[in-house]
Amino acid sequence: MARHDLEFIEREDGSTAVVITFPGNHIGADAAVMSDWFDTLLWALDGLRSGRWDTPGRETVREIGTALSALEHRLAPRLAGLRDALIRSHYAAGGSHADLAAALDVSARSTAQGIRDRLPHPPTTWERWARGTDFRQPGTPIQIRADVLPGRGATGRRRCPDCERSDGYHDNHCLSLPTPPAPSA
């Protein structure tokens, strides 16, 4: 099974940097943007476990809001779309209900069949996003400006070099990415 390369780098300050290398050129800027949101979730996990967010206050509320936004508004719909695309691909590749039950760690193949039967028809915006079919012409690379990702602000969050915001609420306006439409209800 071909997978990406994952490298952990221990830094002098005791923290760990993670470098992920993907084969091919199929993910584009989505990898950078989703990595930023996932980084926010790891930052939130650290905030909860370290007790940093045990102190009430506007800053704590704002930081928790940043994490909730990354989780609920940014990642959750994309992960749901990816899940649905994988389930459809599972059956298209010849997978059975029993195979899906094993993959989803459910005991009954009828549960897996029910999950398949409840997939939205037609596929959702985010499932089409997972397949890379909605936001660009096939074969057109998506570009991300290299200078957006590096610096970090005083809170440890990434700081946008154009707008100087580091609160996570700038909605990637500085990235040359199309904004996906809101998922249909």
Domain ranges of the chain: 5-148
Q: Which residue has the tokens 């069949």?
A: 113
Task: Answer for the pair 134, 125: CB distance below 8 angstroms, yes or no.
Answer: yes
pLDDT per residue rounded down to tens, the chain (185 residues)? 455 677 888 889 988 887 777 766 677 777 778 888 888 999 999 999 999 999 999 999 999 999 999 999 889 999 999 999 999 999 999 999 999 999 999 988 889 999 999 999 999 999 998 888 765 544 444 443 333 333 333 344 444 444 444 444 344 433 333 344 455 54
Task: State how far the Cα of 57 lies from the Cα of 184, in Å rounded to an integer.
Answer: 35
pLDDT of residue 89: 94
Task: Answer for the pair 37, 74: CB distance below 8 angstroms, yes or no.
Answer: yes
Q: Which amino acid is it at 9?
A: I
pLDDT of residue 46: 93
Encoded tokens for 185? 């209800």
How deeply is 66 buried, as exposed, middle or buried, from its count of CB atoms within 10 A (0-12, 13-18, 19+)?
buried
**pLDDT per position as a tens digit, 21-32:** 776 667 777 777
Task: Answer for the pair 115, 128: CB distance below 8 angstroms, yes or no.
Answer: no
Encoded tokens for 124? 């959702």
Encoded tokens for 160? 């946008």
Helix (H, G, I), strand (E, B) or coil at 158: strand
pLDDT of residue 4: 62
